[in-house]
Chains A and B, each alone.
Chain A
Amino acid sequence: MNQLSAKELRDKIKAGEIKSVEATKAVFERIAKVEPTVGAYISIFEEQALAKAAQVDKRIAGGEKVGELAGLPVAVKDNMCTTFGTTTCASKILANFHAPYNATVVEKLLSSDAIIAGKTNLDEFAMGSSTENSGLKRTVNPWDIERVPGGSSGGSAAGLAAGLCFAALGSDTGGSIRLPASFCGVVGLKPTYGRVSRYGLVAYGSSLDQIGPVTQTVEDCALMMNVIAGYDPADSTSVDEKTAPLCDYLAKLDEPVKGLKIGIAPKFNAGADEQVRKAIDEAINTYRNLGAAIIEIDMPHFDYAIAAYYMVATAEASSNLSRYDGVHYGHRTRNPNDYIEVYTKSRAEGFGKEVKRRIMLGTYALSSGYYDAYYLKALKVRNLIRGDFVSVFEKCDCIMMPVSPTTAFKMGEKLDDPLKMYLSDIYTIAVNLAGIPGISIPCGFDDKNLPIGLQILAPAFGEENLLRIARMYEKQTDWHRKRPNLNG
């Protein structure tokens, strides 16, 4: 059963061939076996999950209508609010925080009858590329437990790759879905900014954050998007369906895109490790063999993406995270001498090193006298990058490039060198600045048997085409069926 994709399992559950309770039990058995090694989850909800599964089974047996994700055990990154369990953002400051409401995506999962198995680990407040910045837990890469799963949605990707759920949600601010998907050999989509509601997603960089699926297959990804995409009046930055019509992402998924034109930028790809580059070249060859035209493109401002990103994201983060002050909720220092100490000590005790680093960076960028030189300039660069993509997409349907210059690196390898860590996101960050969708799909392994991800980018709200393009490749290859060999 653990070999089934989410879509396959969902179909069997709906058809009454497999009980949701069986599937859910299988997931928790697997969790009992390998979770101590993998460390994907911050919290699990076995009792609640089995109760809901039984209820879904009963409704199916009774011939009642059930939702799109009927009986499917899924996982949610622990930066999305749930009324059950805690919502920690993998931070000590929220270690015991119980949200009073459900994120919109959580409501959507529940109303489509998904079974939420647990909430997954992440870099604290989604700040990081390896999940090593979690203040609460260590997650390993199921393909090599000495290595990182990527981040910040490392728990979702590792958990999925290890068979601890059938699909998961992550969030992506600078590559946080695509990078761990790539490192763990699964599919990860960052939708267009505004396509999925951010209501209830604990903010890191509000103008960059976007929730998306982490799945076994492109088809599963389309299935998840059918559930989570859409306008939400509670999120002013979500896009209304008149401006960007919604569609059934599964409906035309298997139709290849005719006359496909793929943009590639050899200049950028040259920066990747040789084995990564080779895998990407081979993937593009597969498309060429399917009749796609390959066009060389140039994005003159791409090199400035990381610098611009770390200004915009940290500036927003410094403001977003100012609410964690020990006054209203979350960790409060013991025995403060005055209310200033409630702030300073609670925050000093509650936040980890990387979070503090980014808060300081962002505070500096927004300070009077520096605002124009840093934040405002970063916004201008952001507009130029957006412009680069717009002009490139006049010539091609999508862009292909690696997700990351390397495969999964060793635990601790980059932890003391933040700049080196930041460079892991060199291929993913521009996408968030431009707000366009990007997907990571498995496209091979290096000589250490570590997965490599192919990144495909599409114009804003071009998810339907993007998924079809990704699906074309998936149908030609078996990479997505490979599973790590974990003991147990």
Chain B
Amino acid sequence: MGNLEYKVLVGLEIHVQLCTQTKMFCGCALSFAEEPNSRVCPVCLGMPGSLPVMNKQAVEFAILAGMALNCQIAQFTKWDRKSYYYPDLPKNYQISQYDLPLAINGYIEIPTDNGIKKIRIIRAHLEEDAGKNLHTAGNFSLVDLNRAGTPLLEIVTEPDMNSAIEVRALAEELQRIVRYLGVSEADMQKGHMRFEPNVNLVITRAGQEFKTPIVEVKNLNSFKALENSINYEIGRQLDRFNETGEVMEMGNKSTRGWDDAKEVTVLQREKEEAHDYRYFPDPDLVPVETNEDWLIPIQERLCELPLKKRLRYVKEYGLSDYDAGVLTSERATADFFENAVKSGGEPKRVCNLLTQYFQKRANERGCNLTELGVKPQQVAALAKMLEKEEISATAAAAISDAVVLSEDLDPGKYAQEHNLLQKSDAGELEAIVEEVIKANPQAVEDFKAGGKKSGKAKGFLLGQVMQKTKGRANPKVAAEILDRKLA
């Protein structure tokens, strides 16, 4: 059948768990891995007579995220009940937003090999999460409602992504954004982000275009599963088209699950069931009106987003894209970096200190770079000493270790007290070089002879200089003196 030309189309539905103090409609604290049914109350248990009360913080978090995703924030929005029966849904309806979502018509920018790409966002709305069914070996299931009522932001994109890599890029970018905004911990292990891609292909054969039926892959909660499931679907849909020629029609959208062990998607529902969720406005809640007095302070909490920051670091500071990516992956790291630069540290040197010394220390301690107890001013001071060649790289490492142990430490003072300042004073170094030359005639001879042995001999002589100065000689200055003396 030959090679087919095809284009991949992927749209994403993403559920992001917001890190509010309390659940969406009651006063219970959010929960992870607590004793089952220990974080519940009459409201999130759906007890008779209980009533929901909107969590304002959740709405503000959602608005902030909506703003960061360049959405229009609705001036008027409301809560709707979505009805379906499932044991983990205590009221047998979920409070969600149907026809008037909180945010619409936005976009998110993602990095691709061909530069920045805009992915359109259709809508973002708030809803409450369900509990969890725990299937046991016996003839029954147990239900844990700790998660019931946890606020979720559901984000729906247009099918603007054309590869699994782009989908992953979006997912990772979104993770960084919500973390930057402080609206979600976006911890994949804890299920804070769940993805449902809609995948199909546009195949060109003999000048004609064919669209394969859309497949929705349910409930993916890792970047890897997201990427792999899409790649698997691309292959599977191509094969199926070649076998059957089946194309997209009304009602032939299907739902598949991801088998992590076998790395395949598995059919869940053949045909899109005519789900009737019987949406209607929740009479227990009042509509939400957003006005400027409310929105402006939220807008002020917006910050420079990670991708913008990353591009700026490359452009403004001349950092490599890789380093810029590392520094901007978390807001706290980026803020730390910028504060160190503001305190006079040369950006590249600050970047090197952070990514080389301090990141390692943080990794060793299993903490974040910003949790090391180091101050940006200390890093800036180190960077300045390096720039002025007052200290060697080795000394910088030693001082860094000391800084990690004491946050009040002044790197300059410490260098002085511990004799770590480099000897760049030509006069003093000349004397030492002179001594070394006298003491090592054989090496001098080798050096002068040129050829293979020469480089080795020079290294040896410089090593001697370093030894005599206990590593404090500025290697550049020492080499210059040596060159001059033996010329």
Contact = CB atoms under 8 A, between A and B. Distances in A.
A and B physically associate: yes
A40 interface: no
Contact of A235 (B51, B81, B276): B51
Contacts of B52: 236
Contacts of B48: 81, 87, 89, 94, 97, 99, 202-203, 323-324
B81 A319 contact: yes
B442 interface: no
Nearest to A379: B281
B53 interface: yes
Contacts of B143: 327-328
A103 B50 CA distance: 8
A233 B93 CA distance: 23
B49 A199 contact: yes
Interface stretch (B228-236, B283-291, B381-389, B465-473): B283-291
B43 to A, nearest CB: 8
A198 to B, nearest CB: 7
B280 interface: yes
Contact of A328 (B45, B83, B276, B284): B45
Interface stretch (B84-92, B122-130, B160-168, B358-366): B84-92
A328 B46 contact: yes
Interface in B263-321: 276, 278-280, 283-286
A205 B283 CA distance: 9
Given A201-B49, A202-B48, A366-B278, A237 B284 contact: yes
A80 B47 CA distance: 12
The size class of the interface chain A forms with chain B is: 35 or more
Contacts of A235: 51, 53
B53 A234 contact: yes
Contacts, number: 98
Nearest to B52: A236
A81 B83 CA distance: 25
Contacts of B49: 79-81, 87, 99, 103, 198-203
A100 interface: yes
Nearest to B46: A323
B189 interface: no
Contacts of A363: 278
Contacts of B83: 319, 322, 366
A86 to B, nearest CB: 11
Interface in A189-238: 198-203, 205-207, 233-237
A57 interface: no
B42 interface: yes
A368 B278 CA distance: 6
Nearest to A316: B283
Contact of B283 (A79, A233, A237): A237
Contacts of A97: 48
A47 to B, nearest CB: 25
**Interface majority SS on A: helix, strand, loop or mixed?**
loop
Nearest to A87: B48
A236 B286 contact: yes
A17 to B, nearest CB: 38
Given A99-B47, A367-B278, A368-B276, A236 B92 contact: no
A409 interface: no
A381 B48 CA distance: 29
A363 B85 CA distance: 13
Interface string B62-90: 00000000000000000001010101001
B58 to A, nearest CB: 14
A429 interface: no
Interface string A81-111: 1000001010000100101110100000000
A307 B383 CA distance: 79
Interface string A355-389: 00000000100111001000100000000000000
B148 to A, nearest CB: 10
Interface in B22-49: 42, 45-49
Interface in A301-356: 315-316, 318-319, 322-325, 327-329, 339, 343
A348 B125 CA distance: 36
A79 B48 CA distance: 9
B135 to A, nearest CB: 11
Contacts of A233: 53
A315 B278 CA distance: 10
Contacts of B278: 318-319, 363, 366-368, 371
Contacts of A207: 283
Given A200-B50, A339-B141, A206 B92 contact: no
B481 interface: no
Interface of B: 42, 45-54, 81, 83, 85, 87, 90-93, 141, 143, 276, 278-280, 283-286
When A and B form their complex, which 6 residue pairs have the shortest distance between CB atoms, in order from nearest?
A322-B92, A207-B283, A206-B283, A366-B278, A202-B48, A200-B49
Given A99-B42, A99-B48, 13 more contacts: A81-B49, A87-B48, A89-B48, A100-B42, A202-B49, A203-B48, A237-B283, A318-B278, A319-B280, A323-B90, A323-B92, A325-B85, A366-B278
24 contacts: A81-B47, A81-B48, A99-B42, A99-B49, A198-B49, A202-B49, A203-B49, A205-B283, A234-B53, A235-B53, A236-B54, A237-B51, A237-B283, A316-B283, A322-B93, A323-B91, A325-B85, A327-B87, A327-B90, A328-B143, A366-B83, A366-B279, A366-B280, A367-B278
